[in-house]
């Protein structure tokens, strides 16, 4: 069985405080986008576990891969037999697009189907929280205001219909751990879900990403991409998550030919 774990973008991201458990409290609007990996999980015919990948090379050991960790977690709890996993990686790594978290969440959802476990989203969410702060979002996989460390989700309906999205990632991978170690907490908050402004023309002034300051200081070329997005006519442009990808939302299909040569580029309809 094959599924397509998709990416997300962050419209605004405030790091509001440090938590006693070592994590940070955040506020952000997370929105799924159609940029996606491909994931296949099948019961193992020979009784041996197997993991393989294609597409963008994946760093680290197999045991640390989030798909494998998600499988081992569910195997321990529900006595699952060994499986074969193949991941075709399209979402760039170290981009702030949530690719690894999405792969883990989709692995859990796929295992639930393949083995007819009949687990509800709350059951899966309890395990997802052990794997990563963004994993729970990809179980919902709809626009949500996220708070806490990212696991408290309130569905929201931003006015994205008809907007184009352009995502650009330079050849830089920003470590999430590094970003949280260096971020300067603004102490500011995003508008509450009940007060969400639905006009995208207002978002640039209201939805800031606290990670941009330290990332832009360290890698000025990422700041340049954001400026170029706005110069192309984006109604909203921001770095996603802790970077390094930058996205722009446009009322029209942007003309960017040659502007981001050599970078990863993806475009589509935002809503």
**Residues labelled catalytic:** 8, 134
What is residue 152's DSSP assignment? E
Q: Which residues contact 56 (CB under 8 A, 6 or more apart)?
A: 89, 90, 91, 92, 93
Residue with structure tokens 């640390």?
Answer: 64
State the Cα–Cα distance between residues 269 and 227, nearest whole angstrom.
Answer: 21
In whole angstroms, give the CA distance from residue 85 to residue 49. 8
Q: Are 249 and 234 in contact (CB under 8 A)?
A: yes
Q: Are the C-beta atoms of residues 252 and 166 closer than 8 Å to each other?
A: no
């Amino acid at each position: 069985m094959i599924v397509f774990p998709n990416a997300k973008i962050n419209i605004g991201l405030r790091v509001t405080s440090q938590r006693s458990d070592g994590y940070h409290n955040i506020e952000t609007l997370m929105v799924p986008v159609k940029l996606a990996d491909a994931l296949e999980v099948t019961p193992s015919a020979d009784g041996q576990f197997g993991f393989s990948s294609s597409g963008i090379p994946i760093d680290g050991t197999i045991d640390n891969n989030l798909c494998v960790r998600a499988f081992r977690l569910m195997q321990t709890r529900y006595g699952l037999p060994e499986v074969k996993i193949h991941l075709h990686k399209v979402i760039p790594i170290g981009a702030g697009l949530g690719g690894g978290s999405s792969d883990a969440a989709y692995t859990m959802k796929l295992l639930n189907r393949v083995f007819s476990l009949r687990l509800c989203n709350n059951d899966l969410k309890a395990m997802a929280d052990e794997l990563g702060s963004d994993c729970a979002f990809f179980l919902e996989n709809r626009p949500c205001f996220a708070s806490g460390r990212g696991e408290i989700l309130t569905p929201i309906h931003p006015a994205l219909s008809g907007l184009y999205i352009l995502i650009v990632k330079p050849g830089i991978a920003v470590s999430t751990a590094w970003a949280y170690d260096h971020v300067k907490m603004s102490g500011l908050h995003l508008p509450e879900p009940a007060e969400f402004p639905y006009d995208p023309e207002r978002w640039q002034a209201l939805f800031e990403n606290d990670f941009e300051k330290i990332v832009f200081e360290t890698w000025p070329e990422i700041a340049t991409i954001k400026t170029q997005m706005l110069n192309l006519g984006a109604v909203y442009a921001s770095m996603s998550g802790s970077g390094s990808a930058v996205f722009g939302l446009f009322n029209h299909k942007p003309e960017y030919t040659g502007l981001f040569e050599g970078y990863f580029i993806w475009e589509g309809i935002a809503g």
